[in-house]
Every structure is written in structure tokens, then in C-alpha cells.
Amino acid sequence: MTEEGAPGAGTTTEENPVLYVARPMATAARQFVKSLVRPSTIVYPYERLEDPRFRTEVAVASGRPIGVGQVWDNYRGVHALNIATCISCNLCAFSCPDLCIEMVTVPGPDPKKPKKCPQIDYGKCSYCGFCSDACPEGCLTMTTRYELSTPRRAEMVYSPQRLFDVFRSKLPMNPIRLERPENEDRILLDPPLCIGCNACARDCPTQCITMVDVPKTDPKPGQKPAKRIWKEPVVNDSDCVRCGTCISVCPKECLFWGGPP
């Protein structure tokens, strides 16, 4: 059947009374002697896989490749949020398949413009990491923390401040950062519809929309050309994080996704 010492296809019982119980018992006894030195179990609260000392000392003693590789570096655990660099773009909340992220108001540098940062309900979170993949500023990352148990359900909800505390605890962060695609879609404007209301520029998290003056050039038939100067948004594509906030706030739905076909 195969080369690598396949045990053969026949399933006849070998009648060897000596080996009736001896072979499995010998195997178990061998394991017993091995485990007397050190069992393979990790004594969890005292030994931890993520502890480098454990990986070098204890794991070697048991003779089996426990915690091979850098097991913990990529682990997706509790999030860390750097409030300072968060731009309130909403992308984490939009990308969450479990709808466990809610944007809540936190005191920002500008008291007039309150800042919104993600608050995560770990009762719902599935640790898929889509939010940290989506974060354009790299301020929402996942750490190696995995101990979350609490007697109260309300404590499973991590406010931005608590996430910031996780960030400040300097836990190892998930180092994997996704590259943004080269030719991503851009925000385009349908000029005839724009009323120059400034909503998009006001709410743009990255301040990449500037309102530029344009003369209103298409008067309705039979009217005099308007003397007023209209403003129209211009998006700086290199700064834009493609969050779509401008599209959602536009009262006239004159902004839309577009790009080279």
C-alpha cells in the first residue's frame, strides 16, 4: 500500500497470549518513567508559555517541543488602544463582524470637537483581528493578554481608557501589519449635487478634505449667473484612510467611491 511502514490492510487478530496485555503496559510504563522526571503539562498559573524563561528552561527539560517557535508573538488577545493616535475613523467598528465595538466619546485635545474611540465588549468579541487589520493608524492592536475572567458581565466591556491602560502596560503587540493596497478606491465628488455645506471636511478624521473655492458655473436656465463663490471638497488621497465618513455625512449624497476602472 504505501512505503512508510504501513501496518497493512489486514485486520486479523494476532493471537499472542504473552502480548495480550504486555505491550501496551510496557508502553505505559515507559511513559511513566519519562513523566517521573517531568510531565509534559505546563503548570499554568506558575509556568506560562509566553514566559521566555519557561521556553528556555522548563520546556527543554520535558524533552518535547513545547511552545515551538515564537508562539506568543502573533497571538490575538485583548486589544491595546493608543488613544493619542486614534483618529476616530470608525473603521474598527465597521469591520467588526460581531458588532462588539462601539465608538464612545472620550475627552480629546479639542473640547469643542469630542473624540470618539472604540469601546470593546469582550463578551461578544471573537478575536478575529479584523479591527486591528483595518486600523489605518495602527493605534488599535492586539496584545498577548488572554486572561479576562471576571465575575461581572459589565466588566467585560473595555472602555477606551481601559484599552489604553492595556496599551501602556507594554505587552507584546501583534507585529503583523497589513499593507494597504496600492491603487485603492478614492472618494469622488459629483459636483453638480454639492451644496458646499462643509460637513465632510468638518467630520473627516484625518483632515484630508479641504474646501476650495469654485465659482458656481452652471446656473439654472433663465437665471443670472450667481455671483456667490461656492466651496467644494477636495480630497487629499495620500492622507485619506478610506473610512467613508464623508460619504455617510454628506446630506446630498454627492460623494461616492470611485477609482480607475
Nearer to other proteins, 5 or 221 (CB): 5
Smallest distance, other proteins to C-beta of residue 240, A: 11
Nearer to other proteins, 119 or 245 (CB): 245
CA distance 80 to 75: 13
CA distance 258 to 261: 8
Smallest distance, other proteins to C-beta of residue 177, A: 9
Nearer to other proteins, 46 or 223 (CB): 46
**In terms of C-beta distances under 8 Å and separation of at least 24 residues, what long-range contacts does 127-130 make, across chains too?**
127/76, 127/77, 128/76, 128/97, 128/98, 129/76, 129/174, 130/95, 130/96, 130/97
In eight-state DSSP terms, residue 58 is I
Residue 49, Cβ density class (10 Å: 0-12 exposed, 13-18 middle, ≥19 buried): middle
Smallest distance, other proteins to C-beta of residue 216, A: 26
CA distance 76 to 143: 6
Smallest distance, other proteins to C-beta of residue 253, A: 8
CA distance 47 to 130: 30
Nearer to other proteins, 1 or 154 (CB): 1
Nearer to other proteins, 226 or 239 (CB): 239
Smallest distance, other proteins to C-beta of residue 108, A: 22
